[in-house]
Structure 1
Amino acid sequence: MRIHLTSVFVDDQQKALRFYTETLGFRVKHNIPMGDHAWITVVSPEAPEGTELLLEPDGHPAVRPFKTALMEDGIPSASFAVDDIEAEHERLTAKGVRFVQPPPDLGSVTVAVFDDSCGNLIQISEENLQGGT
């Protein structure tokens, strides 16, 4: 068994598509129109056949209060691994991404959290093989 698909709820699919591809660098795997919305998935260019991220519309009545609570409590909706968190933090900051937590060294991992501009906090993390940098 393996993870094939996971999702992040977004308030605007087209805005999310631009952010996740143009800003973060993911690639479109599927973009299938479905009435008012679409089945939009993106993948990492490093693993084009890997896990897909569905940019899911947040229209269900339970979703927006859930997203709001996560944002207010500072809880990320998803986590992405990076090889060099300092470089990624600098790259994304230069593209106008708003970080709510810069990358502190937490020993075995360094994490940073940013606002995806679509109603979510997203965490990026780098494992520190020596237990600290």
Structure 2
Amino acid sequence: MRIYITSVFVDDQQKALDFYTGVLGFTEKHDVPLGSGARWLTVVSPEDPEGAELLLEPDGHPAVRPYKDALVGDGIPAASFQVKDVQAEFVRLSGLGVTFTQQPLEAGPVTTAVFDDTCGNLIQIVTPV
């Protein structure tokens, strides 16, 4: 068994695609119109193009907004991405205007940082120590 797809709820799929590809560096995998303006929109890591996909899922369901607001309010990331060097990625993303809610922090066996994805989520980056 392996992870095939996971999702983050986004408030604007095009804005999310622009951020996740243009800023974070993911690659678009699927973009399938579903009607009503929604799309089956996934991105993958360019380091593993056949690996797990991240679905940029519309947050239109009534339960999603309170869920996202509660996570952000409590500082809880919606997803976590592994990077080679959190500090270097922090510097790179900060230079691109990304807003961090947690600067790089060593926490036991990992170094983490948390940023706002501009689409209603906090995202954690992590490097195992």
Q: Could you state the TM-score of these two structures normalised by the residue count of structure 2? A: 0.98
SS class of match (1:93): helix
Residue equivalent to 2:17: 17
Deviation, 1:12, is 0.3
Deviation, 1:97, is 0.2
- Between the aligned partners of 1:110 and 1:77, the Cα distance in structure 2 is 17
Residue equivalent to 1:69: 70
- Between the aligned partners of 2:68 and 2:106, the Cα distance in structure 1 is 27
- Between the aligned partners of 1:2 and 1:96, the Cα distance in structure 2 is 34
In structure 2, runs of 5+ residues without a counterpart are: none
Residue equivalent to 1:95: 96
Residue equivalent to 2:50: 49
Residue equivalent to 1:126: 127
- Between the aligned partners of 2:128 and 2:23, the Cα distance in structure 1 is 23
Deviation, 1:107, is 3.0
- Between the aligned partners of 1:119 and 1:47, the Cα distance in structure 2 is 26
Amino acid at match of 2:58: P
What is the aligned residue count? 128
> Quick check: 101-110 or 1-10, which moved more?
101-110
- Between the aligned partners of 2:126 and 2:105, the Cα distance in structure 1 is 10
Quick check: 1:3 aligned with 2:3? Answer: yes
- Between the aligned partners of 1:58 and 1:115, the Cα distance in structure 2 is 16
Amino acid at match of 2:30: H
Deviation, 1:79, is 0.1
RMSD of equivalent CA atoms: 0.5
Deviant stretches of 4+, over 2 Å: none
Q: Could you state the TM-score of these two structures normalised by the residue count of structure 1? A: 0.95
SS class of match (2:119): coil
SS class of match (1:103): strand
Amino acid at match of 1:67: K
